[in-house]
């Protein structure tokens, strides 16, 4: 598999580069970063800490995709639309873990999926996918008598809140109970909790990679379902598994559930 990495100088991009370089079935052929990135022009392997691999970080998306079968994207929401458009034009499959896409990004993603296979997921972890499935199973078994609240914890440098994963879990909960209305905070005399509320809270501090807990709170008992990430490599491994999965697939949208075979 010939792979390009978009956002290659970031923490996740470096992790993908490092793991891809170690994989015997993957050849890194492109590494793309922003035009004002200090790493521009450097060897992607050196930036990732694995030594020179002969792939230079470039701000030219088309050049970075040249010869690639799949591009893995871990970047920022306002940067992805040009990538999706270029990937569509070049016939390059997409694996994207960039969260909180705006309308332009969503539209570009849908347009690309009409021409190439796309996996977009707010979290590339297999465990988070299973957590979402377990939450839905628990909610069906426990019924509407149990309140649902979601709390996520991330490092102090995270830019967005709540996390894309927390939003993914909230969406999973609403698939079971469509009446749930998402709440992003409580302050002051808000009154008693309603049956339709589902709060999603973000906590920031330290170097926490990512913790997500879904609280199911009922009369006289509660259930807390938690996923904790302890190494960013797990997201890179998930993205690489997704890249292997989409290689040669028909155009369309695919999920981590598809990658897991469920």
Active site residues: 154, 158
The Cα-based distances of 172 to 19, 32, 68, 102, 153 in angstroms read: 30, 33, 33, 20, 19
The Cα-based distances of 48 to 16, 20, 31, 248 in angstroms read: 9, 11, 11, 28
CA angle, residues 113, 116, 122, in degrees to nearest 5: 55
Q: Given the DSSP bridges, would you call strands 221-229 and 210-218 parallel, antiparallel or unpaired?
A: antiparallel
Residue 111 CB neighbours (<10 A): 13
Give the CA-trace dihedral at 262, 127, 146, 183, to 10 degrees: -100
- Among the listed residues 33, 29, 40, the one whose alpha carbon sits nearest the alpha carbon of residue 71: 29
Q: Please identify which residue in the block is written with the tokens 């469509």.
A: 178
Largest Cα separation within the chain, whole Å, is 61
Sheet of 197-204, strand order = 181-183, 197-204, 147-154, 210-218, 221-229
The backbone torsions φ and ψ at residue 257, rounded to the nearest 5 degrees and listed phi first, read -60, -40
């Amino acid at each position: 598999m010939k792979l390009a990495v978009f956002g290659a100088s970031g923490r996740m991009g470096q992790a993908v580069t490092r793991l891809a370089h170690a994989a015997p079935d993957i050849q890194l052929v492109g590494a793309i970063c922003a035009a004002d990135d200090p790493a521009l022009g450097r060897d992607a392997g050196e930036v990732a800490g694995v030594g020179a691999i002969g792939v230079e970080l470039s701000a030219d998306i088309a050049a970075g995709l040249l010869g690639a079968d799949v591009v893995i994207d871990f970047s920022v929401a306002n940067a992805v639309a040009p990538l999706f458009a270029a990937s569509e034009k070049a016939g390059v499959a997409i694996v994207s873990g960039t969260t909180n896409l705006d309308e332009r990004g969503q539209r570009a993603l849908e347009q690309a999926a009409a021409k190439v296979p796309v996996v977009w997921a707010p979290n590339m972890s297999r465990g988070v996918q299973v957590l979402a499935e377990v939450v839905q199973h628990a909610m069906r078994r426990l019924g509407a008598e149990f309140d649902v609240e979601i709390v996520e914890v991330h490092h102090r440098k995270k830019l967005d809140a709540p996390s894309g994963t927390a939003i993914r879990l909230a969406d999973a909960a609403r698939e079971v109970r469509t009446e749930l209305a998402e709440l992003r905070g409580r302050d002051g005399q808000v009154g008693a909790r309603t049956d339709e509320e589902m709060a999603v809270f973000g906590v920031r501090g330290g170097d926490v990679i990512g913790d997500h807990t879904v609280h199911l709170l009922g009369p006289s008992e509660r259930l807390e379902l938690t996923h904790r990430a302890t190494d960013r490599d797990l997201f890179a491994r998930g993205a690489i598994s997704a890249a292997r999965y989409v290689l040669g697939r028909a155009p369309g949208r695919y999920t981590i559930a598809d990658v897991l075979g469920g």
